[in-house]
Chain A
């Protein structure tokens, strides 16, 4: 199994509070992704990173920011949590976009509830 951990695994927070989710990998993979999973929508990309300090937005990036100061860590921050951000958040990693290493491996997920 790919070495990906997410913390916390569960969190309940109040509307308006900042929240940071952490993704940590031990695979030294270049690409890291944050997705959210909601009923009826499958998984949708929030942000991704293609290297240290190199990040870009996905399709549902409003209200989220990310940072990657080390290869192994990718942080997702909700600056001011809203109830619409209640979701399950998955981190994923990928070694490359070319060659045989196409697979994305997913972390265990973080269940976030905003009350």
Chain B
């Protein structure tokens, strides 16, 4: 069965520094997609970045980049130059093509950015 593991329940980072949020996944599929979502205290789920299993380049979106290491089955999110507004829960997810493309989520990492 597919599984997403986020081992960091909570993290702190100083404003303007970079931070890496860990995500490992388990799947026997060759084709899969990996996502990161941000959930601020207001509750909405905000899509950040996507990485396909066949993508040769690591995905980047502004200050977000995904460090994709296929052999290690890891898809870590890197946030550069942290801002106070980055304080939120962050979820890693994987798409399951066997069930209507549902997303399988990790338990999340709560990031706190210190001024």
Interface of A is mostly: strand
**CB < 8 Å neighbour of B103 from A41, A43, A49:** A43
> How far does the alpha carbon of A97 sit from the alpha carbon of B33 in the complex, in Å?
10
Q: Mark B80-97, 1 if CB is under 8 A from A, else 0.
A: 000000000001010101
Q: Is A103 a contact of B50 with CB atoms below 8 Å? A: yes
B54 to chain A, nearest CB (A): 12
Q: Is B47 a contact of A44 with CB atoms below 8 Å? A: no
Q: With A42-B108, A56-B99, A97-B101 known to touch, is A102 a contact of B91 (CB < 8 Å)? A: no
Q: Is B102 an interface residue (CB 8 A)?
A: yes
Q: Count of A residues near B, CB < 8 Å?
A: 26
Q: Is A105 an interface residue (CB 8 A)?
A: yes
Q: Mark B5-35, 1 if CB is under 8 A from A, else 0.
A: 0000000000000000000000000000101
Q: Is B115 an interface residue (CB 8 A)?
A: no
Q: Is A18 an interface residue (CB 8 A)?
A: no
Interface of B is mostly: strand
Q: Is A31 a contact of B52 with CB atoms below 8 Å? A: no
Q: Is B100 a contact of A41 with CB atoms below 8 Å? A: no
Interface size range of chain B in the complex: 20 to 34
Q: Is A102 a contact of B105 with CB atoms below 8 Å? A: no
What chain A residues lie within 8 Å of B44 (beta carbons)?
106, 108-109
Q: With A42-B91, A102-B33 known to touch, is A58 a contact of B102 (CB < 8 Å)? A: yes
Q: Is B91 a contact of A31 with CB atoms below 8 Å? A: no
Report 27 cross-chain contacts, Cβ distance below 8 Å, ordered by A residue. A35-B103, A41-B107, A42-B4, A42-B91, A42-B105, A42-B107, A43-B103, A45-B99, A45-B103, A48-B99, A50-B100, A56-B100, A58-B99, A58-B102, A88-B43, A97-B95, A97-B97, A102-B33, A102-B35, A102-B50, A102-B52, A102-B95, A103-B35, A103-B47, A104-B35, A104-B103, A105-B47
Given A33-B100, A58-B99, A102-B35, 4 extra CB contacts under 8 A: A49-B100, A92-B103, A97-B100, A108-B43
Chain A interface (Cβ within 8 Å of chain B)? 31, 33, 35, 40-45, 48-50, 56, 58, 88, 90, 92, 94, 97, 102-106, 108-109
